[in-house]
Amino acid sequence: MLKVKMTQKQMKELLGVSQSTFQRWFSDEKNEKHNLALLLSTISFKDAKKIIEETNANKST
């Protein structure tokens, strides 16, 4: 399984949503896992690769 650490800002940018929408989606724990799985299933491989590369670049600095 691939694990990627992202900041909330990175996730919000990737998903293309406003801060209020992001907070609403992840405000209660019951919905958080379902919503995250649903949203992550819509991310293209290209987007995921870009995030991984950015995250790895940030680790090395």
Tens of pLDDT, residues 25-53: 777 666 666 667 777 777 766 777 777 78
Distance CA 33, CA 46 (A): 23
Tokens coding 36: 């995250």
25: Cβ contacts below 8 Å, ≥ 6 apart: 17, 31, 32, 35, 39
Pick the closest to residue 14 from 61, 49, 51, 41 (CA basis). Answer: 51
| Predicted TM-score of the model (pTM) | 0.40
pLDDT single digits (tens) 51-61: 778 877 877 65
Contacts 24+ apart (CB under 8 A), 18-25: none
